[in-house]
Structures are given as structure tokens and as C-alpha cells.
Chains A and B, each alone.
Chain A
Amino acid sequence: MTREWNIVVCVKQVPDADDVSIDPETGTLNRSDAAAVLNRPDFNAIEAALELKEAVGGTITAVTMGPPFARAVLETAVGLGADDGALLTDRAFGGSDTWPTSLALARISEELDADVVICGEESTDSSTGQVPPGIAAHNGWSQLTYVEELEPDPDNDELIGVRDIEGGHEKVAAGLPVVVAIEFGANEPRVAGLHRKIFSETEFEPTEYTAADLGIEDQVGLANSPTSVGGMDTADPVERKKQVLDSIDELVEALQEEGVV
């Protein structure tokens, strides 16, 4: 019997994009009253992990890095069917950009002896999409990004992914362990069962890890983050003419003036 896979799914708590308001006068971003929710693309990652487990067997551990109340996204993942949850929480992580963040996730993936690490395509608040390749690079593992479909091949210890690429797609077989980034909207996330949701929000307790537990206390945080945000301002909305014309000819004339016809 081929052995079962250890699956790790990385999830992130982000301010609800709808709640982030921009103060029209000062133009500053107001995230204070935004509810903290699971990053939406991560629902596709959890669904992909569940489908993989149904096909191959094994366990799914949800992992997140953040303050103590970030455990809520682990509860969401467990409610949907993940078996367990790991919370990387430590003041030392504060201010980490992609480099230390992917390092921490790479170490916990090793700690959990992961065969497959699955992430959402990008997070709505920073949306760099660089964490999954970062995890693979830190561990020297193979990777599959922009994945629309997964086909496990446990007999050869390989995971086949159909990747969306410009103008088409490609099918790539990756040796384990592999880091996967699931494309936003690639599958239909399921709804958590009632009893499982109650369990995840009452009895489930995540395992907590500090930077020291992962042996990276002096490689994380602001000091070890190559990039930093130099400034943030509101994007000025695209100005539109909003001219409703009465006739086709008027429109053609306007398009000719614009030089597109």
C-alpha cells in the first residue's frame, strides 16, 4: 500500500478587503474597523488539500503565522476538514516580509515532515504571490504555481499539476516534497459541516510554535526583511468621461477622434 501523504496547507488572516476604507479627505488607509478573516484564495487551497487527502489518504495540518487571535483561520480550516493546526506566533516574527515569512513556513513544513505544501495564489492584503516559491527555495523543494488542477501519483511519489500559463496550460510532474500555489477560483470550496464547525470553534486547540522552537529566532522579523513599505497612498480612480451618446455615428466619431478606429 503506498504510504499516505502529510499535507500542509498555509493559511493567512487578513483584514476583510471590503471593510478596509479609505478616508476620502486624508487618503489614509483605515484598517482598524476591518474584520479579520481568512484570505479568500486560501479557501481554494484548503479545498485542494481536502480533495488530495480524499484521493491519497493522509493528514492535513493547517499552518498560519500571526498574532494569537490568528488561530481563528486555523479553526476555519479545521472546520472545513483539516485534521490539525499549527500557529506560528512570536513577537520576533513582527514586521517580517516574504523572506522570513517563507523561511518560517519552510521550517514548520519540515517539522511536520510535509510531502505536499499547499498555499492560496496570493493574499489580498500584500498579494505578492511570492511566499510559495519562497518556501520551496528555502527547502530546495520542487514547486507548482498557478495550478488549476492536481493529480496525485503516489506510486511514483509525484504530484502532477496543470498550470495556467500565458496563452494556454502545461502539465508538470513534480517530485515530492512539493510546494503548490492554487490559482484563485480553481475549485469550488465546500461549506464546513455544522458539527465539525462547532468542534473547531470549541474543542480544537492549535499547537503553538515560537521562532526559537523552529530555530530561526535570529533570522526573522523586520531586521531580516529585505523589503519595507516606503509609503502608501490611495490609488486615484481612473477618470472616465461618462458620456452617454444618442447615436452610433456619434460614437464612431468619438472613437475616431480617440484614434482607435
Chain B
Amino acid sequence: MTETPDYDDQFDAIVVGAGLAGSASALTMAREDLDVLMIERGSYPGAKNVFGGVLFTPTIRELVEDLDDAPFERYVSEKKFSLLSEQDETALSIRPGAWHEEPHNDSFTVLRGDFDEWFADQAVEAGATLVTETTVTDLLREGGDGKIVGVETDRPDGTIKAPIVVLAEGGNSLVSEGAGLKDPDEAEHVAVAAKEVRRYDRDTIEERFNLYDDDGVAYHYFGEGACGDAVGGGFIYTNKRTLAIGVAYRISDARDNPRKPDEVINDFKQHPAVAPLVRDGRLVEYSAKAIPEGGADAVPDLVHDGAVLVGDTAGLVLNNGIHLEGTNMAVESGYWAGKAVADALERGRTDAGALQPYAENLEDSFVLRNLEHYNWFGDFAAKEKEFLFSELPQALTQAELEYFKMDREPKQKHVKRAKQLLLEATGGWTGAAKRAWKFRRLLT
């Protein structure tokens, strides 16, 4: 067959990006018998995606019945939160027995190069069409009102029309910004993350992290020992035969910072509490990503005439210091967007009004309710940076040294001294109470 067919308006929807959000929306729409075209700029879904990280699968479990052949690396059996000062660590580690049973609290480490390809394949098997190594460069508009009618790509004969465009292009959302669907984020609302993947034998990983068979850990590190004088932290996640080791901190703090991200990783790895866990091994990949952490304030309009924004493009990432979640929110947003597009098209409509159910359902879902609830955290952490990342870790260390001091003095003397150290650092009883009051929202 020699001539080239014209696929304009042959697809009901175009999804820009075959990452988690894109594939979730494509899968949902394909299940509603829509013809969906996924356009991925990488040579395979996942080739351009980077994360810490832990994949949270509550919504994926709803979308895909059989997760047996999903390429998980390890399920998370231990979470640890460490406060690092220059040389010291104070940590809280939790290993609930229940996490060893299915569905393992829906928390798994994955390699995005493998998982995203598998997840996009679920959408293809449901009937979606996937095209790779093709970059969407702009939206296609027509008519006086500049209605969105398709996309432009970097290929020859590269424009293609479709009634609806789902923008799932990740945090570096050039198309959405270029088309005026959202304003670029501010440096305070975006974190630069740099990450190393190192290969070890399986036994080394399991011995160093007290693991047995296919469970794994998610370690989060805060304080100056992790990423110095910046709002952010370090992380270690265990995969089957590799460790993901990295740091992430606000770009505003990375500006005129004496250390560059790769130097921050090197120093983090040399911390006395971290070095034993990450020594040796072989570097197999060095990656970086920008994480939109602006919280609820930075979420753009989700719905437009002929277009919806999902996943990182819509800033749907929760970081309140304890909960670091983006994957579940991306998939949830893809699901609700897919549903809304299907319903709108069924009624022959593509305008923002018809797509509004997507925004409404997302507001009712955990996605925007969590973002609203912890919206205060970003500014709070920035304001309390000095205390949280420098004074508190040091004070804790001094208090611990004092509290557990072994000498021939009576304990009472050390306990009193330790309490005093802590109070000094937190600004006396009233200071401590004020801070606790602010922190209460973390626990409510």
C-alpha cells in the first residue's frame, strides 16, 4: 500500500506523554471504546521518566486486574525518616508486619524504564495506539476562538487533529506553558532532584538493609547532613539488585549555592550514617528531574476547551516532609480525566464545561484534598528552614549525647541537661508549644 492514509480526526483523543498519568488516561478511555493516540517522546515509555522512588498502586490495582506480571522490584517493608546533622543521625524507623502481606500497603519500588513500558502496554492491549520517538511541540488551534483541535509534532507531516488533547507531559510542561494553558512555576515551587543508580549483588542489598527475599526499604533523610542549607532531603530506595540514591531540594535554594547537585549527592553519600549503606557497588545510571512541589496553590486550571492537564503537568505532587507522593496522584488524575473525556465525547461536546467533571472528581478525591490539607507545609518549611534543617538536628544530637551519656554522674543530671538543650533550641516552652501547634496539622 503506497499512499499514506490521513489520520486527522480518526482518533477521539491524543495523549501527550506515555508516563503514568498519560497511560492511565489512555487505558481508561480505551476501556470506554474510544480510539486513543499516545505520543511519547522517548524511544519507549519510561525512557524519559525519572523518580525516586516508590510507586503507590491503589488506583493501578483498580485499573489492572492482574498485577502478577507487573515489573515491581521490591515491596516496601520498612520506612525510615532520618534527621541528619553534619555527622549525626536521629531516625524513626517503622516495619509494620502487615506490610509483608498483599497488597503490601500498595507501595513498591520500580524501575521506570521497565514499569512505564508495562503500564503503557496495558493501554495498548486495551486498544490504544502508541507512537514513540515523537515530540509534541505545540497545540493546534483553529477558528477565531483558537479552539484546540490537535497537536503539532517534530516529525515531517507532523500535525494531527483530534477533538480532545490530554496533556501528560510531566513536570517540564513546555507544551502546556507554550499554549498558555498554565504559567511556568516559580523556582520556590520546583525541586531539582539528582539521582544515582548503583548495582550490587542481591545478597549485599539484603544484608545491608535487613531484608529477606523481595521486600525493600524507603529511607528519607532531612537536615543539613542531607542537602545542606536547602529545603529538601536525600533518599535511598532498594530495588532488586540496585540502589537508588539521591537528593532533591528547591531550585530557589540551589541558586548561588556553593555546591552543585552532583556535589551534594557526593557529600550526602559520605555522611557517616549513609556511607556504610551505599559504599562500593557500580554506578549504572545518573539521572535528574524537576519535581513540581508548589502544592495546591500551584495547581493550574485542569480543564480547558478541548484539553485537560494531568499528572506532574498539573503539579499533582504531595510533599509534606513525611508523605512524598506523585505516582498515585498521577494515575488517579489520568483515570478521572479519561472518564470525563469519555462522558463529554458521548454527549458530542469538547468544551471546558463538559470536561468540568474531571476537576470536580479530582477535588473530591484524595488528590486535591491532600494537597489542600497540607498546603501550608511548603511555606512553613521555608520559613522554619534554619530551625528544621540545622538547629533541630544539632539540638537533638546534643540532647541524645547528654541523655545517653555513660559516666559516673547520676542520670537525673543528664536528663535535666538534655531537656534544657532541647528547650533552648526550640525557644523555651512557649516556642516549643507554638511549633507543636503548627505541626499538629501534620498529625490531624
Residues from 2 to 34 in B contacting A, C-beta threshold 8 Å: 2, 4-7
Which residue of B1, B7, B153 contacts A84 across the interface (Cβ within 8 Å)?
B1
**1/0 contact trace for A182-208 toward B, CB 8 Å?**
000000001111111111011110000
Is B44's beta carbon under 8 Å from chain A?
A: yes
Residues of A within 8 A of B1 (CB): 83-84, 199, 203-204
Whether the pair B131, A198 counts as a contact (CB closer than 8 A) is: yes
With known contacts A194-B155, A194-B158, A198-B129, A35–B44 Cβ distance under 8 A: yes
Q: How far is the CA of A59 from the CA of B1 in the complex (A)?
A: 10
Contacts across chains A and B counted by CB atoms under 8 Å: 51
A201 vs B38: C-alpha distance when bound (angstroms)? 13
Q: Which of A50-93 contact B (CB under 8 A)?
A: 59, 83-84
Instruction: Identify the closest chain A residue to B10 (Cβ).
Output: A198
Task: Judge if B134 is at the interface, Cβ distance under 8 Å.
Answer: yes
Flag if A194 contacts B5 (CB, 8 Å): no
Whole-angstrom distance between the alpha carbons of A196 and B134 in the complex?
A: 13
A195 contacts B157, C-beta separation under 8 Å: yes
A185 to B44, CA, bound (A): 25
Q: B337 to chain A: closest CB distance in Å?
A: 23
CB neighbours (8 Å) of B44 from chain A are 35
Taking the closest CB of chain B, its distance from the CB of A184, in whole angstroms, is 21
Contact indicator B2/A59 (Cβ below 8 Å): yes
Cβ–Cβ < 8 Å partners of A204 in chain B? 1
Asked if B5 and A192 sit within 8 Å, CB to CB, the answer is no
When chains A and B are docked, how far (Å) is the Cα of A24 from the Cα of B283?
A: 13
Is B156's beta carbon under 8 Å from chain A?
yes
CB distance from A216 to the nearest CB of B (A): 28
Contact of B156 among A84, A191, A202 (CB under 8 A): A191
B155 interface neighbour in A24, A193, A199, A202, Cβ under 8 Å:
A193
Interchain CB contact under 8 A, B134 and A197: yes
Task: Verify A202–B134 contact, CB threshold 8 A.
Answer: no
* Contact bitstring B158-172, A, C-beta under 8 A = 1, else 0: 111000000000000
Tell me which residues across on chain A come within 8 A of B159, comparing CB atoms.
194
Q: Which residue of chain B has its CB nearest to the CB of A199? A: B5
**A199 with B4, Cβ < 8 A, contacts A190-B156, A193-B156, A194-B158 known:** yes
Is B37's CB within 8 Å of the partner chain A?
yes
Against B, the Cβ 8 Å flags (1 = close, 0 = not) of A91-121 are: 0000000000000000000000000000000
Distance between Cα atoms of A194 and B5 in the complex (Å): 11
Chain A nearest Cβ from B290, distance in angstroms: 26
Report Cα–Cα, A72/B366, bound state, in Å.
42
In chain B, residues 368-407, which have Cβ atoms closer than 8 Å to a Cβ of chain A?
A: none
The reply to whether A202 and B6 contact each other, CB–CB distance below 8 Å, is: no
Contact A203/B153 with A35-B44, A194-B158 known, Cβ cut-off 8 Å: no
Are B2 and A191 neighbours in the complex by a CB distance under 8 Å? no
A203: chain B residues within 8 A (beta carbon) = 1, 5
Contact across chains for A191 and B5 when beta carbons are under 8 A apart: no
Q: How far is the CA of A199 from the CA of B129 in the complex (A)?
A: 11
Q: A35-B44, A83-B1, A204-B1 are in contact. Are A198 and B158 (CB under 8 A)?
A: no
Q: Which residue of A lies closest to B152 (CB)?
A: A194
Contacts of A59 in B (CB 8 A): 2
Q: Which residues of B contact A202 (CB under 8 A)?
A: 129
Q: Among residues 43 to 88 in chain B, which have CB atoms less than 8 Å away from a CB atom of chain A? A: 43-44
Select from chain B the residue with minimum beta-carbon distance to A201.
B131
Shortest beta-carbon distance, A206 to chain B, in Å? 12
Known contacts A35-B44, A201-B131, A192 near B155 by CB under 8 Å = yes
Shortest beta-carbon distance from A50 to chain B in Å: 12
User: B4 near A195 (CB under 8 angstroms)?
Assistant: yes
Give the chain B neighbours of A196 by CB distance below 8 A.
Answer: 4, 157
Partner of A195, one of B2, B7, B43, B129: B7
- 1/0 per residue, CB under 8 A from A, across B112-153: the answer is 000000000000000001010010000000000000000001
Q: State how many angstroms separate the Cβ of A30 from the closest Cβ of chain B.
A: 12
The distance in angstroms between the C-alpha atoms of A191 and B158, with both chains bound, is 11
A194 with B129: in contact, given A83-B2, A84-B1, A199-B4 (CB under 8 Å)?
no
State in angstroms the CA–CA spacing of A195 and B161 once bound together. 11
Question: Smallest distance from the beta carbon of B390 to chain A beta carbons, Å?
Answer: 41
B158 neighbours in A (Cβ, 8 Å): 193-194
- B43: chain A residues at CB < 8 Å are 35
| CB-CB under 8 A for A197 and B2, given A35-B44, A202-B129 | no
- 5 example contacts (A-B, Cβ-Cβ < 8 A) are as follows A24-B282, A84-B1, A191-B155, A193-B155, A195-B4
20 more CB-based (< 8 A) A-B contacts, given A24-B282, A84-B1, A195-B4: A35-B43, A83-B1, A83-B2, A190-B156, A191-B156, A192-B155, A192-B156, A193-B155, A193-B156, A194-B134, A194-B153, A194-B157, A194-B159, A194-B160, A195-B5, A198-B37, A198-B129, A198-B131, A202-B129, A203-B5
Interface residues of B (CB under 8 A from A): 1-2, 4-7, 37, 43-44, 129, 131, 134, 153, 155-160, 282
Closest A-B pairs by Cβ, 4 of them: A193-B157, A194-B155, A193-B156, A196-B4
